[in-house]
Structure 1
Amino acid sequence: MRTLTIEPLTQSAFAPFGDVIESAGRDFFMINNGSTRRYHRLSKVETAAAEDEVLISIFRAQALPRPLPIAMLERHPLGSQAFMPLHGKPFLIVVAPIGEEPQPGQIHAFISNGRQGVNYRRGVWHHPVLSIAPEDDFLVIDRAGAGNNCDEHFFPEDQRVLLSLVDRGI
């Protein structure tokens, strides 16, 4: 079984899969009579149809046992999906490129610094939210509307890759 190397979450490394949502290094302008910095358009919510709705939710995630064999990935073909940590805790991101089905050799793992979120592009394969903390909350922005917006792919046991945090000291 191949073990994933966890990469730092940067805009350039994550660009093929979506956007990193963070203020560090981003342009801003002042609003509210100069008392607030607005980091504008850090990401764009993608939907497939004009009649779709954009939802804002909070997900409360529990940490999964580690090392974690990546047994499945999901994708949302009709809209992007954004996750922003609410308590400043790092979390893991596991992704694979857009395609008919994810390929084990193309899976990437990233770690957020706890002040970064992600917006998965439409159709990007990803693991459901992966909390490192025993419990963590995430602001989630995604699409609602007609049609199936969640495809799941389950890997045969011999194609699973292993997500381990030992090399990250976690």
Structure 2
Amino acid sequence: MSQPVALKVEPLTAAAFAPFGDVIEAADSARHFPINGGNTERFHDLMTLATDPDGHAIVSIFRGQPRTLPLTLTMLERHPKGSQAFMPLSGRSYLVAVARPGEGVSVADVCVFLARGDQGVNYAPGTWHHPLLALHATSDFLVIDRAGPGGNCDEVTLEPVGIIPA
């Protein structure tokens, strides 16, 4: 068994996350404009929802149990037939562990981001990621992803494992 690899956690920004998908947030850099007689600010077209031709978009709520740090990452998953978006409903920060799409992935490829409670992520199709990493308390997330025929979840075991420090 190989020695675990310590993973660095960095703040979630649109630029740093771009190789993996979209950051969903009401940022000044996003296209935004007033609607509804000026009573609402619309932050427009914040992500690209992708599905294969046989699939369709669905909306779910995932309830994540809090993870304790330090945390050992032993696996990643990917969804090759569509994107998968997570938007926190609890207002709590959470972790995002990702690696670029490709056939193989190793712990050296993993990037870890600390997302604020007002930031969501949209994983591009095929992007390797760890399942939901809620922190501090049980947290709900609005999830938009693909449903349809055929398998759409591949998993890989990390060897060596990665450690997200406390």
TM range, smaller chain: over 0.9
Rounded to whole Å, the distance in 1 between the matches of 2:151 and 2:128 is 15
Q: Find out whether 1:6 has 2:30 as its counterpart.
A: no
Counterpart amino acid of residue 162 in structure 1: I
The structural deviation recorded for 1:133 is 2.0
Query: Runs of 5+ in structure 2 lacking a partner?
Result: none
Separation in 2, partners of 1:65, 1:132: 7
Distance 1:92 1:64 in 2: 9
- Residues 29-61 of structure 1: per-residue CA shift (max 9 Å, x gap): 111121111111000111121x42101111000
Instruction: Please name the residue that 1:28 is paired with.
Output: 32
Relative to the length of structure 2, the TM-score reads 0.94
> Could you say which residue in structure 1 is the equivalent of 2:49?
45
Match of 1:146 in 2: 149
Q: What is the rounded CA distance, in whole Å, between the counterparts of 2:31 and 2:44 in structure 1?
A: 8
Runs of 4+ with deviation above 3 angstroms = none
Render the CA deviation track for 1:119-155: whole Å, top value 9, x for unaligned: 0000000000000122000000000011111001112
| Number of the residue aligned with 1:168 | none
RMSD across aligned C-alpha pairs, in angstroms? 1.0
Q: TM-score, normalised by structure 1?
A: 0.92
* DSSP-derived class of the 1:13 partner: helix
Would the aligned equivalents of 2:31 and 2:45 in 1 still touch at CA under 8 Å?
A: no
Structure that is richer in strand per residue = 2
Runs of 5+ unmatched residues, structure 1: 166-170
Shift in Å, 1:4: 0.7
